[in-house]
Amino acid sequence: MRVIYLGYLSDLAGTKEEEVVLPESRAALVRSVINARVLSLGEGSFIVLVNGAPASLNSAVKPGDTIKVLPHVGGG
Amino acid sequence: MRGWTGRILWVDLSRGSFSVLNYDSKLAFEYVGGRGFAARILWDHIPVGVDPLSPGNLLVVAAGPLTGLPGPSTGKLVVASKSPLTHGYGDGNIGTRAAVEMRKAGYDAVVISGRAEKPVYLYVEDGKAELVSAEELWGLDTFTAQRKLEKMHGKGAGILLIGPAGERRVAFATVISQEGRSGGRVGIGAVMGSKNLKAIVFRGSLEPEVAEKETLRRLAADAYREIKRKPAYAFWMRQGTMMTIQWSQENCVLPTHNFSEGVFEESSSIDGFAMEKLKVEQRGCPNCNMTCGNCILDDEGVVSELDYENVAMLGSNLGIGDLRKVARLNRLADMWGIDTINLGAVLSYAAELSQRKLISERIEWGDFDAMLRLAEDIVERRGLGAVLSEGLQQASAKLGGSDFAMHVKGLSISAYDCHAAPAMALSYGVSPIGAHHKDAWVISWEVAHGRFEYSKRKVERVVELQRIRGGLFETLVACRLPWVEVGLELEWYIRLFNAATGLSWTLSDHVRVADRVYSLIRAFWVREHAAEGRAWSRLLDYPPTKWFKEPLTRGPLKGARLDPLKYDEMLGYYYAIRGWDFRGIPRESTLDSLGLSDVKNELMKYIQLTA
């Protein structure tokens, strides 16, 4: 599955996008596939989308899914 | 009293006279500054029910106790008036050298009444003030007039001015500074125009007295360093608010085609990465180390200063996917002195009218040339443009389409689609100036905490943000972006305030001020509506009908729309937290508890209050 980091989270993760292969193609939770440095910011510090839909660190993901991790922004 | 100069300059343009109000600590401690001062002054001193474009209306320019002092992003001021767009309380803030120079000239605020017989500008320097003929400046765009004034008064002068839109009293004309800094989208530029006031120029060499100068200097230096240490800082310096284009697209809230959709297929052509490739310059406000004015050359090769709101409203919302063309519309709006958010909103409303065949003009999404011609007509007040120049509320009363006139209380929605964001819709509904993102930009929190939920915790979050963004920052007066964008802790601002004033306030003291200001502003709206014979109702706190009736047709959130009953429940809970009754009017007990008994007694002359 693809994990995409947006905004400054790509600086923190050291990559804009990475391919994560789940062992034996099993389902997993979002928290298990996110970069550790991003995860260390703590739940609620970023926004998770799975295939474009709102999700959380505890959402299940499967091979082929796209996870996007977005920072909070303040909106001018 | 330290931190404040304790002086407000009063100018009567009709008589050409000046006076100075030496105010005491009561005003300072109860209202702090900026929006707080403006709301109290307007409540006390405008003739009730005044026509906003008549000489009786007041223009207030107000700083706060942190303005111009050492500290992150303290180079801001508030401009306020009774709004010609909404006929309610209106304000806006601007990051400008004028904020710093006004304080150095010896004043915390300037209040302007009357109307000059001929065009003038106000010149204020070190406690002295004069009115100078502006007949040679009248008719000039804001960039040209700024340069002429700089030539006369030096590059260090702080200048606020209007362009042709303000002179012609377009209802959403703004005040401009430094060729691209804009504020007062509720029509403060039109108020200046109605007074024949082209500009205000400040120069000063005085320093506001502060309580603990060395502590303040050290705190400021530490705060600047702390900002640079934040993990979001480097990316912010690359894109500023422009990063929000991509963010909004991903979260399906990017306003598209007059807020019909939340995704735009050409978003990557106008986002922060597209901007980075074209960036030629970065501008900022005084005292700021996270400058967010990202400049590119527009399609005519002229510098244009971009941010999220103007690119979303003049880009995706109009279906225009060429950033350099968007930049031209933006730059022209700044030169004319007209608000980019309202401009984008009336242009997209006109396009939807056209496509529904409610007007004869043909305006297609993405038709830049048609949009540009119509924008010029708005500033010139010609044909359809003349109707649109009155703003969405007035225009839709004449042309129809009120369901898709995207405003609250007359002020257009700023750049976030709320089909699937009920808390943000509430934030627009109860913003103290009409729909605006400044006070409670809750949408980022909302999408991470139960996107489709209608809940008490969302309402509580809206109130919490209003108290900080619309209260603390608007009264200090300082920019909220170091806190919201890179995470500079609020405690820094409390400590800076205490060092400047010698007080020992906590955040809860500022929250009490914020609550007082919010209820005072609400009282202002209710009084002015009553005096003008306009009915007040909770429906005035509703977002536009389109978000309830017409679901999204594209993107991952296809089918989403707001639920009116659940929205109304949230609104009722908001009133309960604020101590307002079912109509959204402050209760007698609320006004008493906030130290506003005199406001209660005045308001009761116009409308029956709930105990």
Is A27 part of any domain?
A: yes
Range of the domain at B95: 7-203
Least confident of B56-60, B147-151, B339-343, B478-482: B478-482
* Closest-CA residue to B325 (of B367, B381, B281): B367
Handedness of CA B70, B508, B447, A18 (dihedral sign): positive
Strand partners, A6: none
Contacts of B36 (CB under 8 A, 6+ apart): B30, B64, B474, B475, B513, B516, B517
Q: Is the pLDDT of residue A76 over 80?
A: no
Instruction: Output B372-376 pairs: Cβ under 8 A, ≥24 positions apart.
Output: B372/B328, B372/B329, B372/B332, B374/B347, B374/B350, B375/B329, B375/B332, B375/B333, B375/B343, B375/B347
Judge contact between B74 and B287, C-beta under 8 A: yes
Instruction: Check residue A22 and give its pLDDT.
Output: 78
Instruction: Check residue A23 and give its pLDDT.
Output: 72
Is B575 part of any domain?
A: yes
Instruction: Check residue B440 and give its pLDDT.
Output: 87
Longest dimension (CA), chain A: 45
How near does any CA of chain B get to the CA of A10, in Å? 9
Residue type, B14: S
- CATH number of the domain that residue B306 is part of: 1.10.569.10
Instruction: Check residue B295 and give its pLDDT.
Output: 98
Instruction: Check residue A75 and give its pLDDT.
Output: 67
Phi, psi of B547 (to 5 degrees): -70, -20
Could you give the residue ranges of the DSSP H alpha helices within B287-361? 308-314, 323-336, 340-355
State the CB neighbour count (10 A cutoff) for residue B489. Answer: 12
Is B214 part of any domain?
A: no
* Closest-CA residue to B241 (of B488, B486, B419, B555): B486
Instruction: Check residue A25 and give its pLDDT.
Output: 62
- When pLDDT is cut at 50, 70 and 90, the band that residue B200 belongs to is very high
Q: Which of A4, A5, A6, A8 to mutate to test the interface with B (most CBs of B within 10 A)?
A: A8
Q: Is the pLDDT of residue B55 over 80?
A: yes
- For B588, counting Cβ atoms within 10 Å of its Cβ (0-12 exposed, 13-18 middle, 19+ buried), the class is middle
State the virtual CA torsion across B580, B584, B588, B593 in degrees, nearest 10. 40
Percent of chain B with pLDDT over 70: 100
Residue B504's alpha-carbon distances to A34, B60, B232, B496, B514, in angstroms, are: 43, 29, 31, 11, 17
- Among the partner residues B231, B236, B247, nearest to A6 by beta-carbon distance: B247
Q: What does the pLDDT look like over B260-298, one tens digit per residue?
A: 999 999 999 999 999 999 999 999 999 999 999 999 999
Instruction: Check residue B112 and give its pLDDT.
Output: 98
- CATH number of the domain that residue A38 is part of: 3.10.20.30
Domain shared by B585 and B448, yes or no: yes
- Among the partner residues B244, B250, B444, nearest to A49 by beta-carbon distance: B250
**d(Cα B310, Cα B112) in Å, to the nearest integer?**
29
- When pLDDT is cut at 50, 70 and 90, the band that residue B470 belongs to is very high
> How is the beta sheet containing B120-125 ordered, strand by strand?
B128-133, B120-125, B197-203, B158-161, B175-177, B181-183
Is B212 part of any domain?
A: no
Handedness of CA B416, B163, B432, B107 (dihedral sign): positive
Q: What does the pLDDT look like over A41-61, one tens digit per residue?
A: 888 889 999 998 889 999 999
Instruction: Check residue B133 and give its pLDDT.
Output: 98
Q: What does the pLDDT look like over B482-520, one tens digit per residue?
A: 998 898 999 999 999 999 999 999 999 999 999 999 999
| C-alpha R_g of chain A | 12
Judge contact between B174 and B339, C-beta under 8 A: yes
Q: For chain A, how many structural domains are there in total? A: 1
State the CB neighbour count (10 A cutoff) for residue B116. Answer: 23
Q: For chain B, how many structural domains are there in total? A: 3
Judge contact between B308 and B242, C-beta under 8 A: yes
CB-CB under 8 Å, B443 with A75 = yes
Q: Is the pLDDT of residue B143 over 80?
A: yes
Is B84 part of any domain?
A: yes
Domain shared by B335 and B197, yes or no: no
Shortest CA distance from A6: residue in chain B: B247
Residue type, B394: Q
Judge contact between B288 and B316, C-beta under 8 A: no
Domain shared by B410 and B422, yes or no: no
Interface contact B235, partner A, CB < 8 A: yes
- CATH number of the domain that residue B50 is part of: 3.60.9.10
Interface contact B251, partner A, CB < 8 A: yes
Q: What does the pLDDT look like over B392-437, one tens digit per residue?
A: 999 999 999 999 999 999 999 999 999 999 999 999 999 999 999 9
Percent of chain B with pLDDT over 90: 97
Shortest CA distance from B254: residue in chain A: A75
Inter-chain contacts counted by CB atoms under 8 A, chains A and B: 80
CB-CB under 8 Å, A49 with B241 = no
Handedness of CA A63, A65, A66, A68 (dihedral sign): negative
State the CB neighbour count (10 A cutoff) for residue A23. Answer: 6
Contacts of A26 (CB under 8 A, 6+ apart): none
Tell the residue number behind the tokens 């304790």, with chain if given. B6
How near does any CA of chain B get to the CA of A27, in Å? 22
Is A76 part of any domain?
A: no
Q: What does the pLDDT look like over B1-34, one tens digit per residue?
A: 999 999 999 999 999 999 999 999 999 999 999 9
Domain shared by B31 and B132, yes or no: yes
Name chain B contacts of A75, Cβ cutoff 8 Å: 241, 244, 308, 416, 437, 441, 443-444, 484
Domain shared by B48 and B66, yes or no: yes
CB-CB under 8 Å, A6 with B484 = no
Judge contact between B471 and B507, C-beta under 8 A: no
Domain shared by B77 and B122, yes or no: yes
Instruction: Check residue B479 and give its pLDDT.
Output: 93
**d(Cα B27, Cα B10) in Å, to the nearest integer?**
16
CB-CB under 8 Å, B437 with A76 = yes
**d(Cα B90, Cα B410) in Å, to the nearest integer?**
11
Q: Is the pLDDT of residue A24 over 90?
A: no
Interface contact B285, partner A, CB < 8 A: no
- Among the partner residues A7, A71, A74, nearest to B480 by beta-carbon distance: A74
Is A37 part of any domain?
A: yes
Q: Is the pLDDT of residue A74 over 80?
A: no
Tell the residue number behind the tokens 């120069």, with chain if given. B203
Omega before residue B477 within 30° of 0, cis: yes
Name chain A contacts of B481, Cβ cutoff 8 Å: 74, 76
Task: Give the mean pLDDT of B442-446.
Answer: 92
Range of the domain at A65: 2-71
> How far, rounded to the nearest angstrom, does the alpha carbon of residue B551 sit from its chain's CA centroid?
29
Token representation of residue B508: 């809860």
Task: Give the mean pLDDT of B188-211.
Answer: 97
Q: What number of H helices and E strands is found in chain A? A: 2, 7
Is B498 part of any domain?
A: no
Provide the mean pLDDT of chain B.
97
Domain shared by B240 and B263, yes or no: yes
Give B571-604 as a DSSP string.
HHHHHHHHTB-TTS-B-HHHHHHTT-HHHHHHHT
Handedness of CA B30, B35, B37, B43 (dihedral sign): negative
Domain shared by B411 and B544, yes or no: no
Percentage helix, strand, coil for chain B under 3-state DSSP, each rounded to 5: 45, 15, 40
Task: Give the mean pLDDT of B308-325.
Answer: 98
Is B225 part of any domain?
A: no
Q: What does the pLDDT look like over B576-588, one tens digit per residue?
A: 999 999 999 999 9
Name chain A contacts of B309, Cβ cutoff 8 Å: 76
Domain shared by B158 and B124, yes or no: yes
Whole-model pTM?
A: 0.97
Domain shared by B157 and B31, yes or no: yes
- CATH number of the domain that residue B483 is part of: 1.10.599.10
Is A42 part of any domain?
A: yes
* Closest-CA residue to A26 (of A65, A63, A66, A64): A63
Token representation of residue B333: 């709006």
Interface contact A70, partner B, CB < 8 A: yes
Q: What does the pLDDT look like over B245-265, one tens digit per residue?
A: 999 999 999 999 999 999 999
Strand partners, B177: B181
Tell the residue number behind the tokens 């362009």, with chain if given. B163
Is B495 part of any domain?
A: no
Domain stops at, among B416, B447, B468: B416
- Among the partner residues B231, B307, B483, nearest to A76 by beta-carbon distance: B307
- Among the partner residues A44, A47, A73, nearest to B243 by beta-carbon distance: A73
* Closest-CA residue to B416 (of B245, B269, B582): B245
Domain shared by B404 and B360, yes or no: yes
H/E run at residue B12: strand B7-12
Task: Give the mean pLDDT of B523-543.
Answer: 97
Domain stops at, among B394, B416, B438: B416
Domain shared by B171 and B279, yes or no: no
- When pLDDT is cut at 50, 70 and 90, the band that residue B170 belongs to is very high
Is B213 part of any domain?
A: no
